[in-house]
Amino acid sequence: MSAVDEVFAALKRRGGRALVPFITAGDPDLEFTAQVLQVLDRSGASVIELGVPYSDPIADGPVIQSSYTRALQRGVKLAQILDLLRHIQPKLSAPVVLMVSYAIVYRRGLEEFVHQAQAAGAAGAIVPDLLIEESEPLRRICTQADFSLVQLVTPTTAADRALRIAQASMGFLYYVSVTGITGERDQLPQQLREQLGRLRQLSPVPVCVGFGISRPEQVRQLAPVADGVIVGSAIVRRVAQVQQRPAEEVLQEVGGFVKSLAEALQGS
């Protein structure tokens, strides 16, 4: 059982739901990322997604794209991100999973990547451009290492394929709420609740939903039909304000926002 499995097992025992916030590593620098990670942890995060900046992220909207660009312009490297994690992970109660492009994983070497990430304290990884057909070699290594390789299902995924993906997913299954890229949405698709309900029935692992979710009322709507809720751009946008505003103020706002999401999740 990886640390992610343990979190979901504990939540299941008390009928809870997971809050999974996302931030970009190194935006605007790794020192600030370390502070934000602790704030997320204190404010109710169950699992934290740490985004490894990538030069060509095609699944990401403008907010996460520009956070990646800022981090890369500062020259952030994978080794530095893993160093940060090694240093900060013992202070966190929530496990950290890396959101990382296959371009980066492949370049490092599949085995080296998993072992280095795990040694740094990561509990798993989400590789958004690694389809089920191509994921077998990495999955074998992750299974052996008990490192959760989270797979994704989207609204355009056919039912039989969704089942295969769910069966291969480790830790949890990531359901992408919209046909599109990351970023806040005023409205989530009408059929989302039904789709999630169906997916949860067939999935052997917990199902978390992400993409487009940015407000406590959306979290409240989705909590009854999901095992967890993932929030990215809405947090990254707030973190990015540190370029114009005092760090303390930004950390407080991020903490307050994540708390409001956690409360919405608990209260429903």
Partner 1 sequence: MQVQVDVPDARGRFGPFGGRFVPETLTFALDQLAQEYAKAKADPEFQKELEELLRHYVGRPSPLYHAQRLSRQLGGAQIWLKREDLNHTGAHKINNTLGQALLTVRMGKRRVIAETGAGQHGVATATACARFGLECVIYMGEEDMRRQRPNVFNMQLLGAEVRPVKSGSRTLRDAINEALRDWMSSVETTHYILGSVVGPHPFPMIVRDFQSVIGRETIRQCQEQLGRLPDVVVACVGGGSNAAGMFYPLIPHPQVRLIGVEAGGRGTAPGEHAAPLSFGSPGVLHGSYSYVMQDEDGQTCPVHSVSAGLDYPGVGPEHSYWKQTGRVHYTHCSDQEALEAFDLLARTEGILPALESAHALAQAAKLAPTLSPKEVIVVCLSGRGDKDAHEVARLRGQQW
Q: Which is nearer to partner 1, 92 or 104 (CB)?
A: 104
User: How far is Cα 49 from Cα 58, in angstroms, rounded to an integer?
Assistant: 18
Q: Find, among 84, 85, 106, 115, the residue nearest to 97 by Cα.
A: 85
Q: Minimum distance between the CB of residue 121 and partner 1, rounded to whole angstroms?
A: 19
Q: Which is nearer to partner 1, 176 or 223 (CB)?
A: 176
Catalytic residue, from 5, 27, 41, 60: name it. Answer: 60
Binds partner 1 by CB under 8 A, chosen from 16, 32, 38, 69: 69
Q: Minimum distance between the CB of residue 116 and partner 1, rounded to whole angstroms?
A: 12
Q: Is residue 8 within 8 Å of 18, Cβ to Cβ? A: yes
User: How far is Cα 233 from Cα 81, in angstroms, rounded to an integer?
Assistant: 20
Q: Examine the residue annotation and report whether 49 is marked as an active-site residue of this protein.
A: yes
Q: Examine the residue annotation and report whether 111 is marked as an active-site residue of this protein.
A: no
Q: Does residue 131 bind partner 1 (CB under 8 A)?
A: yes
Q: Which is nearer to partner 1, 59 or 188 (CB)?
A: 59
Q: Minimum distance between the CB of residue 59 and partner 1, rounded to whole angstroms?
A: 4
Candidates 24-32, 156-164, 184-192, 201-209; binding stretch for partner 1 (CB under 8 A):
156-164
Binds partner 1 by CB under 8 A, chosen from 55, 191, 252, 266: 55
User: How far, CA to CA in Å, does 202 sit from each of 163, 191, 193?
Assistant: 7, 17, 15
| Interacting residues toward partner 1 by CB under 8 A | 54-61, 65, 69, 72, 77-78, 101-108, 128-131, 133-134, 152-158, 161, 165, 176, 178-181
Catalytic residue list: 49, 60
